[in-house]
Chains A and B, each alone.
Chain A
Amino acid sequence: MSLRRIFALSRRHYYLYKGSWPRILELVYWPVMSLTLWGFLSLYLKQIHVDLPAVVPVFLGALILWDVLFRSQIGVCMAFLEEVWSRNLVGIFVSPLTPLEFVIGQLLVGVLRTLAATFAMVLLAALAYGFNIFTLGLPLVAFFANLIIMGWAIGLLVTGIVLRFGQGAESLAWAIIFFFQPISAVFYPVSALPQWLQPLSWATPAASVFEGMRALLNSGTFDTALFLRAVRLNGVYLVVGAAFFMLMFRLARRDGQLLTIGE
């Protein structure tokens, strides 16, 4: 494995963002807009004394963490789609870059995009709503890491689908994560879901992360069992996502789809 080749891919995206203000704007626009909306809603709920513990931290914390998951997933997909849109994928695949290096490069770009968007949200939450997410302390790193990894896994799944089925499937890059939102218990506990849906919810690493965040905000304790559950599930998700991508890559080579993608 060559770090130089992996960083070459990251550098390619750095150049792209450096020279494109609409892309930089897009990176922070949606996170900031949704935080603004949810911030006002949280303040309103607080004003009318809704019987919810720590209403502002719970909502804004959940929103920021949800966005980490979403940005991580979309970041991986965008790193791939940018190559498809610029018809550069063949050039990359015939270079000595291995598929594994390509995947790692994509994940790295996903993380960098996530950090940029999260920084904007964290700053706005602190300045506008007095919510400092860093009060969550060290467990915040565990939450972030788990959500980023889950985003990677879903991103790889979508990338594999686009690789195999072409650009017609690219809208999945934006849509697929919203399949996970209702069952990830982002803004409400898993127990709020219908009984039959709860096992599905617990099968997502995100549900454990959001339950863990609420436990920390409400009782001040970090639930190690929830954390380990998320880690185990993420292990499975990541292996499945990577294996799916590699399988789709192999099938795309067999059927000559690497040549026609982007046309």
Chain B
Amino acid sequence: MLQRQFLSELAFSSNGKESVMDKNARVVKVVNLTKRYRSTLAVNGLSFHIEPGEIFGLIGANGAGKTTTIAILLGLVTPTDGEITIFGLDPKRHRRKVLERMNFSSPYISLPHRLTVLQNLTVYADLYGVRNIRSRLDDLCGKLGISDLLKRHFGQLSSGQKTRVAIAKALINEPDLLLLDEPTASLDPDVAERVRSCLLSYREEKGAAILVSSHNMQEVERICDRMLILKQGKKMIEGTPASIISRYRTKDLESVFIEIARGEDN
């Protein structure tokens, strides 16, 4: 609890950025979020919140509504109904202020292949208004072990290297809220472990909140403080991984996931 409070304080003071949010505000607060695409209900009355310094897992089978929820938080998709506040602000009205303090990574998006890693990161540093780009890149690339890749074209990298560069892009502005859609999908266990360690140390260092969507239940169990399982756009259960396992009386989260996915959720 004390650690959470400490991280919470850090979240508001990191980077020396001007804080426009209420100090007690939750990083993310979603109330009754609904998204309908014609006849499909992608997100159905979803409510949750994320505290400062918390790693929150958004879990569900394919098509459960995870990506849509993340896309709504990022402003890529407009919700049909519901309320969202990020850093205590309405992201519709304060889009730039909110996005300056967020970042996102997903294996389904990429960076320009013909640009070098350094060029890609420099462009994004400019887009996010990063000061002292050179020292920020030195620090970040050192931590992620990609300093020797800076002059290589992004398209020439292996998938593990690309993921680390994408994580570097996602951390370039030292976000207070990081959204990660399947951050370790298609990575070998070694690289996946490095990515997880990097995320955990970033959270420790900056007190940032991280929202992770993943199909890897061991990963969720290991890094998430709290999690939510979605099915057909609807919240099935929310809590700490341990409390969810104990409520379902199963041996691990994977069994809970399978039980929910197959419809035996009660």
Which A residues are within 8 Å of any B CB, using their own CB?
A: 2, 4-5, 7-9, 11-12, 15-16, 19-20, 82, 86-88, 90-98, 250, 253-256, 258-259, 263
Contacts and interface: CB of A to CB of B under 8 A. Distances in A.
A8 B128 CA distance: 10
B113 interface: yes
A16 B76 contact: no
Contacts of A5: 126-127, 129
B127 A258 contact: no
B33 to A, nearest CB: 14
Contact of B95 (A98, A250, A254): A98
B123 A15 contact: yes
B92 to A, nearest CB: 11
Contacts of B74: 94
Contact of A259 (B76, B78, B102, B113): B76
Contacts of B123: 8-9, 11-12, 15
Nearest to B169: A91
Closest 8 CB pairs of A and B: A8-B126, A87-B110, A86-B112, A95-B127, A15-B119, A90-B109, A96-B99, A94-B74
A57 B176 CA distance: 61
A88 B109 contact: yes
Nearest to B123: A12
B127 A256 contact: no
Contact of A19 (B67, B127, B153): B153
A95 B102 CA distance: 8
A258 B112 contact: no
Contacts of A15: 114-116, 119, 123
A157 to B, nearest CB: 23
B111 interface: yes
Contact of A12 (B71, B76, B109, B112): B112
Contacts of A86: 110-114
B126 A94 contact: no
B99 A20 contact: no
27 contacts: A2-B129, A5-B129, A7-B126, A8-B124, A9-B127, A12-B115, A12-B119, A15-B114, A15-B115, A19-B153, A86-B113, A87-B108, A88-B110, A91-B109, A92-B127, A94-B74, A94-B99, A96-B99, A96-B127, A253-B77, A256-B37, A256-B71, A256-B77, A258-B76, A258-B77, A259-B76, A263-B108
